[in-house]
Amino acid sequence: MKKKDISHEDCRASLRNIGDALYVIGGKWKLKIIVALSEGNSRFNDLQRTINGISAKVLSNELKEMEANGLVIRHVYDQWPVAVAYELTEYSQSLTPVLIALDNWGAMHSKKIRRQMNKVENN
């Protein structure tokens, strides 16, 4: 968006809407979890192995928040040991166009982003 492309009221509405969306999907891990679950149901340990760098504690907390916000369904299987799997809801699947756009944007700017990441890490 360029300056003056939208009215003040539209800008405020966009800020509110984006704030609402980020409340549900914001943070370092939630979108990565959604992408990992897009292949289908996944058990906790499989999710942790798929998502590089996420600790069990962080994954557990993120999944609890995502379940509370209606993004995932938690299935507990009555067996020994108890097995737990997670599944995306229709609500979270409505993020597919957003994730595709974000994936495309990341691919388009990957070299620049990686250079900036290296600069930050080396300082």
The structure's pTM equals: 0.85
Q: Average pLDDT, whole number, for the chain?
A: 92
DSSP single-letter state for residue 92: H
Q: What are the domain boundaries of the chain? A: 29-122
36-49 pLDDT per residue, tens? 999 989 999 999 99
48-89 pLDDT per residue, tens? 999 999 999 999 999 999 999 999 999 999 888 888 999 999
CB 61 within 8 A of CB 27: no
| Domain 29-122 CATH assignment equals 1.20.140.10 | no
Of all residues in the chain, what percent carry a pLDDT higher than 70?
A: 97
